[in-house]
Amino acid sequence: MEDDFYATLKLKSGEEIFAKVAASEEEDRTMLIVSNPITLTEVKIKNGIAGYKVEPWLKTTKEDMFIINLDNILTMSESNDIEMIHMYQSFVAHNEGEINQKPKPSKKMGYISSVNDAKDILEKLYKKS
């Protein structure tokens, strides 16, 4: 198994993904282990300014590692593009932060009270009606 590297992969299905990649050989076939694969879409704004929309490759799973058989890859290009790698790392860090964070209760979520306080308030409302 070789060291990890960043690469753009063009799959035979036509999909283009960017990921951290590691090659693995098992028995008589070579597979790629891709970590947090993403897709990029160029977005143009009115003023002619272009940006990129970064999305996870598979949107219906929270898994972050996938195995792709080398037979399913049309071409692969190792990337040393610092801006691309930085976008990728920022996206991964942001997503990991969302998964690991539990929301803290706030007044925007509703009223915060203890069970006893809520019980007293509800009993008072019931008695008034």
Average pLDDT, the chain: 85
Model-wide pTM > 0.75: no
Question: What does the pLDDT look like over 59-73, one tens digit per residue?
Answer: 898 888 999 998 899
* Domains annotated on the chain, with CATH: 5-128 (2.30.30.100)
User: Which DSSP string do the residues of 39-100 spell out, in sequence order?
Assistant: EEEEEE-TTS-EEEEEEES-TT----EEEEEGGGEEEEEE---HHHHHHHHHHHHHHHHHHH
Asked if 91 and 54 count as a contact pair (C-beta separation under 8 A), the reply is yes
Question: What does the pLDDT look like over 44-102, one tens digit per residue?
Answer: 888 888 888 899 999 898 888 999 998 899 999 999 999 899 989 999 988 876 655 56
Strand partners, 64: none
